A and B are shown apart, each in its own frame.
Chain A
Amino acid sequence: MHQTFDAALGINLLHANQKGADHNRAHFDEWGITCFNIMSSPGAGKTVLLERSLAVLTDDLKIAVIEGDMTTELDADRLRQYGVPVIAINTGRSCHLDSKMVAGGIHQLEHQYNPVDFDLVLVENVGNLVCPAEFEVGEHIKVALLSVTEGEDKPLKYPVMFQEADCLLITKIDLAPYLDIDINRIAANVRQMNPHVTIIAVSAKTGEGLEHWFNWVKSQVLNQRSSATATEMLPA
């Protein structure tokens, strides 16, 4: 006789990933590191932004980068020139980083360096507007990039990432004069679903707006430090 049973679970479909993200965040908190998850569609300007940021922010902050790419180390090599540890993670066919992949990066950082020396870990996610938004990696801050060439309507069409973002960078604004695009319209579209998001318009090419971004990053690291309560112990 077969008998059917029913287990009411009510657990998150991404529970396994969530557990990994909590593990990663506990490491960051223990080491006093702030972690940013930087997300956008392919080519919105994440790597160039990181290059510009490393050139300036390393004066004030000790930074490491975890660089997700489907196949190459091209981006990682570009960033290594700034003298910071860059841990490259090839995701293979996966279109986003998950918490397990980032855990691999964190453990490399732990073994090759003294993690308590670092202030900030920047995770460059795989270029994709869709699922990176659902897969937490243990970050404290989510940053979304949208370049002016992508169009005003993208936040409306790919809402989840923009709804979850703490900061939206509107990138490549040096190109705006050549396009039929209204930056205020992009901002308004994001604010429709995320009224508290910090929005900064930047051009990595001309440098416009970057000073705001740098200041915002520094303020977030300070905030994170002061709000970090007693260090959490990791489960054995």
Chain B
Amino acid sequence: MQLELSEEDRAFREEMRDFFTTKVPEEIRDAVKDGQELSKEQIVASQQALNAAGLAVPHWPEQYGGRGWSDLRRHLWNEEMQRAFVPAPLAFNTSMIGPVLAQFGSEELKERFMAPTANLDVWWSQGFSEPDAGSDLASLRTTAVRDGDDWIVNGQKTWTTLGQYGDWIFTLVRTNPDVKKQAGISMLLIDMTSPGLEVRPIELIDGGHEVNEVWFSDVRVPGANLVGEVDGGWTIAKFLLGNERVGVAPVAATKRNLALAKDRYAERVAADPLLAARVAELENELLALELTALRVVAHSEGGEPHPASSVLKLKGTELQQAVSELAVDLAGPASLASGADDGSALPGFARRATPTYLNLRKASIYGGSNEVQRQIISKTILGL
């Protein structure tokens, strides 16, 4: 057992720290720091800065821009990026469809999409959830029916995050209604400018426009846009969701947000032992979570994932939410001023505390709700 990083890994961390704090535009990082909603242009600019330096998709196969890093280095890369307030590369592109295309896509799809996906020249949306298929994803009903070489798609997707920016959407569709529900699903890539495809915004309690419904009415999709085998979509979905869970505990970002809150309200925290105790407990739990992530990272060099990895999503989102809740409490009455503009006498971080808190209620729901995580732990780890 040994706590120290090797000299090489420490140098690597320095290199990452230096890059993220100097090469990503400061106005973008300041916007993240203040909890502002980023524009599409800011997200694209940030990812392109990373991609130009080979830092957008280090976990991809090397032929598509991956770096062949150890899991520890990927962890350090991610931690330093979050610590520097650099927006993470768009997950739909880099964690979801990119690895899926590399693994399951035809040569034609790889040739067409891998590079633009890494560089965010194509903005991907995710079309999995439906009104009656959330955590029970296999119950989805959107259909794709053969018409010559093409597919005709009908149905509705929901919770399509940032779908208003999407150029393309990767969807799970039912291609065979006559078999066990998991066995009749396929994955199709659909151009969002296709006739019959309509994106409708869903207003959320934080006042922002983050998610959408996507409607398909006789949308024609070329057969070449099928990923993998017909009716083989469930395997791909499991592969994709497995990737999603790994990166979903934002330890460094939560730590950073707690440190910001502690610093911004230092006087109140110093004067109120109950507030100080909440800060101290959260710092301690975050330390335990970070150490757990490091255990998982160190272990996964061997291949099989560490069983404790299922703890990361569950506890990671709980702590993310708890820190956002603390930020609202620290902001106090100023937290009501969510609609005020820059003419307000109240600081921006206080005004945005509550929308952030309300928005983050989603964290324990997406990526497999925390109840699904408990089910995974009790079934697969505890054998219950």
Do A and B form a real pair? no
A residues with a Cβ closer than 8 A to B are none
B residues with a Cβ closer than 8 A to A are none
